[in-house]
Amino acid sequence: MENKWLDEKASECIARYGERWGRDLALRTYSGRLIGQEKELVLHGGGNTSVKTTWTDVFGQPIPVLFVKASGQDLATIEPDGHVALDLEYLKRLRTLPALPDGTMLDELHTHRLAAGGARPSIEALLHAFLPAKYVDHTHADAILALTNQRNGDAVIRDALGGDVVVLAYIKPGFPLAKAAAAAFDASPGCKGMVLGKHGLLTWDDDPLSSYGKTIELVTRAEEYLEGKARKPRKRRRGTSAATARARYGKVAPILRGLLAVPTGDADRPYRRFVLSPLVTEEVLDLVDSDRGKEIALSPPLTSDHLIRTKALPLWIDNPPYDDEKGFRERVSNAVAEYARHYEDYFRRHASRLSPGLERFDAMPRVILLPGLGAVCAGGDVGEAGTVRDIVAQTLAVKTKVVSVGAYEGLDEEHLFDMEYFSLQHAKLVGEELPLRRCVALVTGAAGAIGAGICQGLLENGCHVSATDLPGDPLAGLVADLRRTHDDRIIGVPLDVTDPKSVADGFGQVVREWGGIDLFVINAGVAHVSSLADLESEAFRRLARVNIDGTLHVLSEAARLFRKQNTGGDIVLISTKNVFAPGARFGAYSATKAAAHQLARIASLELAEIGVRVNMVSPDAVFSHGTRKSGLWAEVGPDRMRARDLDERGLEEYYRNRNLLKAKITAAHVARAVLYFATRQTPTTGATIPVDGGLPDATPR
Ligand code: ZN
């Protein structure tokens, strides 16, 4: 592993942060980032670093302070304020206590912060406080884990790293580990570093470069040792091709997602769903297709701090019948049920040690391994699923390395349980969830004014949104805009609703991205102004293709997907006030939208038995959303302005004044009506919410 320290970059950090935070913390920030940016040292908020320096209190008195990484902070991008300032002298006194329960330790850490509020200190803060060195670096380096997770791991480490490294047997993080590490240091103060058994590496020194340099040096020694011992890899790979595996995933993802959903017992929200992220690489395929794949995959994890996201063990499916949908469903369903039984037994075996206030988690796996496909990872949203995927990729790679040099030996079950149900780890999990966090939506006609408003409303409520529209700048622009705030919870999927193949392909893209779809908002529509006397048949057909055929294609494909997923779902059709109160010279639009509306009502009749609710929202004139003008009004507006002798603003005023509430109707209003249905506030299907400010002629009846 390369030592990436550059004096000029370190000086830049001092120049940038030194005045406000001091030189010590500026350098801590710099070398912390070097560690964080090395994926083979730490993953997703793992690892932690600290510096001991001085803090000036309000009386101007300097007091000793420990700056330690805040819990959950990503070292790769850490800032000085990503560290928590703690009263070092007080923390050091804690070492004299014979024991300190987890909850009390957390209270002590929280109440001895030097700045109120803000971040939670790392649960390994005392490990840093009890070691006397100024800078302390703690990582979960892959190469070190590959050594310590072996039978006779201690001897392997000594052989690989030399005698100047202390090896500590596995101890659960928290007070006991902090005390044991400090005692081990006292016994060998001249040692170069400390390997924490089945956990990671600890180095320290009085300057940041030396401490960081020791981490790199020891990891390099471990890497070279592994390299030297490794048997030569086979030249040719034997696993399934990635293209075949991906095609299989597209077919089975909704089935897997449906089977993983946790029943809640709540009739309105009957499942707690997961978002899926596939890990389909040649390395993983070679492993799951190999003779020892199952044995390797079902061994305990490398390090215990990933357990809250991955659970201790994945689910393995033997010989999945990919070409037989019914057989595949049955095979996985049985395997999931067996996994759940084992999980419940495991919980019962250890429940007597459970911390007060904690309950059993759901018994579903977070990782499924399938020969001929790869790994499928599950999380509450795309970010969490991605974290699980990265952990699984690292775990499988390191385990493969281990078995190429020796025999893998992970933590025992008791330690796994204690870490999975470690109260201090749970603060890292999401508390209150946004209502649509676990939901995947597909919106058609997303690039228009109403579509954009709906996408935004869904995203703000935690939803994953696939924005679909014809390919082109409006769709690309919308997705780029929304990505700025909502990251990878929004994707753009170009599709043409008039073409059933394009619709099916678009759905397939969303399924491969997130595993399935729970909510369809059918919003694509076009308008045309003409009296019946002048209405050309082709103009009518053009509207029918989008407004009727397009609605039908989405409804049909959605019905098939919902049946496959088997966890219910929602469809919301954006209808129109014209269905109830049509306008003159607007025959093609009113008639085709009425057909779409009727199709959605039929869907509500047909899909209720599989738990799918279908409802309609009927807005009156929405002219724009932000800078996005309504395409429909670009078509209709000029005619209506001419007819009423009004300009654009006058026309908007006219529509506002014609409703009972004198309300200007916005895309955000339409989005809120969609959210009412999507969040399932009432047991309602086949119903219409008007969003029109009150138009007695257009009230649905
Ligand atoms: Zn650790």
β-strands 440-443, 464-469 pairing = parallel
Number of folded domains in the chain?
Answer: 3
Model pLDDT for residues 347-402, shown as the tens digit of each residue = 999 999 887 778 889 999 999 999 999 999 999 999 999 999 999 999 999 999 88
Sign of CA dihedral 226, 200, 381, 421: positive
Q: Which domain holds residue 167?
A: 7-229
549 pLDDT band, cuts 50/70/90, is: very high
160 with 43, same domain: the answer is yes
For residue 480, the domain's CATH number is 3.40.50.720
- DSSP state, 549? I
Going from the Cα of 349 to the center of ligand 1, the distance in angstroms, rounded, reads 26
Model pLDDT for residues 266-292, shown as the tens digit of each residue = 999 999 999 999 999 999 999 999 999
For residue 219, the domain's CATH number is 3.40.225.10
Going from the Cα of 306 to the center of ligand 1, the distance in angstroms, rounded, reads 10
What average pLDDT does the segment 106-127 reach? 88
Going from the Cα of 46 to the center of ligand 1, the distance in angstroms, rounded, reads 7
Going from the Cα of 505 to the center of ligand 1, the distance in angstroms, rounded, reads 44
Q: Give me the long-range contacts of 359-365 (CB less than 8 A, separation at least 24).
A: 361/420, 362/262, 362/272, 363/339, 364/260, 364/262, 364/274, 364/336, 364/339, 364/340, 365/260, 365/311, 365/313, 365/314, 365/315, 365/336, 365/339
344 with 482, same domain: the answer is no
CA distance 571 to 599: 12
302 with 418, same domain: the answer is yes
- DSSP state, 547? I
**Confidence (pLDDT) at 689:** 97
Going from the Cα of 403 to the center of ligand 1, the distance in angstroms, rounded, reads 23
Going from the Cα of 524 to the center of ligand 1, the distance in angstroms, rounded, reads 51
CA distance 38 to 98: 37
Going from the Cα of 412 to the center of ligand 1, the distance in angstroms, rounded, reads 17
Model pLDDT for residues 166-185, shown as the tens digit of each residue = 999 999 889 999 999 999 99
Who contacts 130 (Cβ-Cβ below 8 Å, separation ≥6)?
91, 92, 95, 178, 179, 181, 182
For residue 348, the domain's CATH number is 3.40.225
Going from the Cα of 139 to the center of ligand 1, the distance in angstroms, rounded, reads 6
Going from the Cα of 411 to the center of ligand 1, the distance in angstroms, rounded, reads 14
Note the residue count of the chain: 701
- Nearest Cα neighbor of 465 from 452, 479, 455, 473 is 455
115 assigned to some structural domain: yes
Going from the Cα of 199 to the center of ligand 1, the distance in angstroms, rounded, reads 6
Going from the Cα of 48 to the center of ligand 1, the distance in angstroms, rounded, reads 7
Going from the Cα of 669 to the center of ligand 1, the distance in angstroms, rounded, reads 48
- DSSP state, 425? G
Q: Which of 396, 429, 462 is the last residue of a domain?
A: 429
548 assigned to some structural domain: yes
Going from the Cα of 47 to the center of ligand 1, the distance in angstroms, rounded, reads 5
**Confidence (pLDDT) at 317:** 97
458 with 577, same domain: the answer is yes
Going from the Cα of 426 to the center of ligand 1, the distance in angstroms, rounded, reads 15
82 with 27, same domain: the answer is yes
632 assigned to some structural domain: no
Sign of CA dihedral 372, 387, 466, 628: negative
Going from the Cα of 123 to the center of ligand 1, the distance in angstroms, rounded, reads 9
CA distance 461 to 363: 27
Helix (H), strand (E) at residue 621: none
Going from the Cα of 364 to the center of ligand 1, the distance in angstroms, rounded, reads 26
Which residue type does 200 have? G
Q: Which single residue is written with the structure tokens 């790769």?
A: 76
Residue 656, CB-side half-sphere exposure with 13 Å CA sphere: 12
571 with 613, same domain: the answer is yes
Going from the Cα of 70 to the center of ligand 1, the distance in angstroms, rounded, reads 13
Helix axes of 413-420 and 325-350: crossing angle, nearest 10 degrees: 90
Going from the Cα of 307 to the center of ligand 1, the distance in angstroms, rounded, reads 12
Going from the Cα of 187 to the center of ligand 1, the distance in angstroms, rounded, reads 22
**Confidence (pLDDT) at 429:** 63
Model pLDDT for residues 342-358, shown as the tens digit of each residue = 999 999 999 998 877 78
Q: Read out DSSP for 430-449?
A: --SPPTTTT-EEEETTTTSH
Going from the Cα of 122 to the center of ligand 1, the distance in angstroms, rounded, reads 10
Sign of CA dihedral 616, 622, 626, 629: positive
**Confidence (pLDDT) at 432:** 77
Q: Which of 199, 229, 259 is the last residue of a domain?
A: 229
Alpha helix positions (H), 173-239:
175-187, 208-229
Going from the Cα of 105 to the center of ligand 1, the distance in angstroms, rounded, reads 17
Model-level pTM? Answer: 0.92
Going from the Cα of 200 to the center of ligand 1, the distance in angstroms, rounded, reads 6
CA distance 438 to 696: 38
Model pLDDT for residues 492-512, shown as the tens digit of each residue = 999 999 999 999 999 999 999
Model pLDDT for residues 508-518, shown as the tens digit of each residue = 999 999 999 99
∠ CA 250-498-573, nearest 5°, is 85
229 pLDDT band, cuts 50/70/90, is: confident
**Confidence (pLDDT) at 238:** 72
Q: Longest Cα pair distance anywhere in the chain, in angstroms?
A: 99
SS3 28: helix
Going from the Cα of 134 to the center of ligand 1, the distance in angstroms, rounded, reads 19
What average pLDDT does the segment 69-86 reach? 92
**Confidence (pLDDT) at 443:** 98
Mean pLDDT over each residue of the chain, to the nearest integer: 93
636 assigned to some structural domain: no
45 pLDDT more than 90: no
480 assigned to some structural domain: yes
607 pLDDT more than 70: yes
Going from the Cα of 130 to the center of ligand 1, the distance in angstroms, rounded, reads 15
The percent of residues in the chain predicted with pLDDT above 90, rounded, is 80
263 with 292, same domain: the answer is yes
Q: Kindly tell me the number of DSSP H helices and DSSP E strands found in the chain.
A: 25, 22
90 neighbors 130 (Cβ within 8 angstroms): no
Q: Give me the long-range contacts of 528-532 (CB less than 8 A, separation at least 24).
A: 528/588, 528/589, 528/635, 529/585, 529/586, 529/635, 529/636, 529/639, 530/585, 530/587, 530/588, 531/584, 531/585, 531/587, 532/587
Going from the Cα of 201 to the center of ligand 1, the distance in angstroms, rounded, reads 8
581 neighbors 698 (Cβ within 8 angstroms): yes
Model pLDDT for residues 308-334, shown as the tens digit of each residue = 889 999 999 999 999 999 999 999 999
Going from the Cα of 346 to the center of ligand 1, the distance in angstroms, rounded, reads 24
Q: Tell me the backbone φ, ψ of residue 344, rounded to 5 degrees.
A: -65, -40
CA distance 577 to 663: 15
282 with 316, same domain: the answer is yes
420 with 522, same domain: the answer is no
CA distance 343 to 362: 9
Alpha helix positions (H), 131-207:
142-148, 153-161, 175-187
Going from the Cα of 218 to the center of ligand 1, the distance in angstroms, rounded, reads 17
SS3 317: coil
Going from the Cα of 35 to the center of ligand 1, the distance in angstroms, rounded, reads 14
Instruction: Report the b/e string of 105-126 with b at 16+ CB within 10 A.
Output: bbebbeebbeeeeebbbbbbbb
71 pLDDT more than 70: yes
Going from the Cα of 304 to the center of ligand 1, the distance in angstroms, rounded, reads 8
422 pLDDT more than 90: no
- Nearest Cα neighbor of 299 from 396, 427, 157, 172 is 396
Going from the Cα of 303 to the center of ligand 1, the distance in angstroms, rounded, reads 8
SS3 293: helix
Residue 353, CB-side half-sphere exposure with 13 Å CA sphere: 16
Going from the Cα of 44 to the center of ligand 1, the distance in angstroms, rounded, reads 12
Nearest 10 degrees: CA dihedral of 143, 144, 148, 151? 30
211 with 282, same domain: the answer is no
Helix axes of 208-229 and 23-36: crossing angle, nearest 10 degrees: 20
- DSSP state, 548? I
532 pLDDT more than 70: yes
SS3 117: coil
Going from the Cα of 296 to the center of ligand 1, the distance in angstroms, rounded, reads 23
297 with 415, same domain: the answer is yes
- DSSP state, 174? T
Structural tokens at position 58: 């309000």
Going from the Cα of 168 to the center of ligand 1, the distance in angstroms, rounded, reads 13
- DSSP state, 682? S
374 with 490, same domain: the answer is no
Going from the Cα of 230 to the center of ligand 1, the distance in angstroms, rounded, reads 27
274 assigned to some structural domain: yes
Model pLDDT for residues 242-273, shown as the tens digit of each residue = 999 999 999 999 999 999 999 999 999 999 99
565 assigned to some structural domain: yes
Pick left, alpha or beta for residue 106 (phi over 0 → left; psi -120 to 50 → alpha; otherwise beta).
Answer: alpha
Going from the Cα of 415 to the center of ligand 1, the distance in angstroms, rounded, reads 14
Q: Which of 379, 404, 429 is the last residue of a domain?
A: 429
238 assigned to some structural domain: no
